Amino acid sequence: MSLLTSPREALAHLIGLDPASDLFVTALTHSSYAAEHGVESNERLEFLGDAVVDLVITDTIIRSFPNLNQGTGSLTRSKVVNEAALAEVASALEIGRVVRLGRGEIKNHGEQRPALLADAFEAVVAAIYLERGYGAASEFVLTYLGGALTAAAAAPDEVDPKSRLRQWSEAAGHGAPVYEVRGDGPSHATHYVAEVTIGGIIRATGQGRSKKAAEVAAAIAAWGEKHV
């Protein structure tokens, strides 16, 4: 990166957008910053980007991995399209350096939060989709997630923590695990705690920056304590 090029300009150049583009700027605007400055946040773009990423990965599974059926295809997709995976890609793109945050989020190091980074990545995908079309968005997604998709498709039967716990629980005659999640804190920095109950007994708790992350953490903890 040139000394005359800012991290924001470098990212814009990488994804083929004008750094002054309204969509690009909005994609990098967290709700905490938007609330303080009276501008639009990236939440609507994140909503669209989530669908675009899902479509790209699903379309690639159907076209490129005919050995995967609906079940193994869904499992493969879940390994690639999840908060941790998207946050890792966002970190590689250094999105945390350029996302616009409110004062409280900056103080709490929001640029490091996986949920925030994953959402920003999806918002960037939406900006590419709206400005450059599906082809460009698909190419971008597969550039950064294609390797993980190939690896996941090679071992589709390796289940995720929640599915693994459910399969064990049902086989043991306890039925499906039940998750109860509560959130604390402001909407832009909510912290979630999940309890997982099996056979009427609370088996474990987990914490995370999203409901899904908290449930996965609880499932992992319960798996380690699954002697019933």
Strand partners, 19: none
Which amino acid, one-letter code, is at 97?
Answer: R
Closest CA to 212 of 30, 85, 39: 85
Tokens of 185: 């804190």
What 146-151 contacts at long range (C-beta under 8 Å, 24+ apart), as own/partner pairs, is: 146/60, 148/79, 148/80, 148/85, 149/57, 149/60, 149/61, 149/76, 149/80
Tokens of 38: 């009276």
The active-site residue, picked from 50, 83, 105, 111, is 50
- Residues 40, 22: Cα–Cα separation, whole Å: 10
Residue 50 annotated among the catalytic residues of the structure:
yes
82: left (phi over 0), alpha (psi -120 to 50) or beta: beta
The active-site residue, picked from 46, 122, 195, 215, is 122
Q: Return the axis-axis angle of helices 7-15 and 114-132, rounded to nearest 10°.
A: 50
Strand partners, 205: 195
- Residues 24, 212: Cα–Cα separation, whole Å: 27
Residue 22 annotated among the catalytic residues of the structure:
no
Q: Which residues does the annotation mark as catalytic?
A: 50, 122
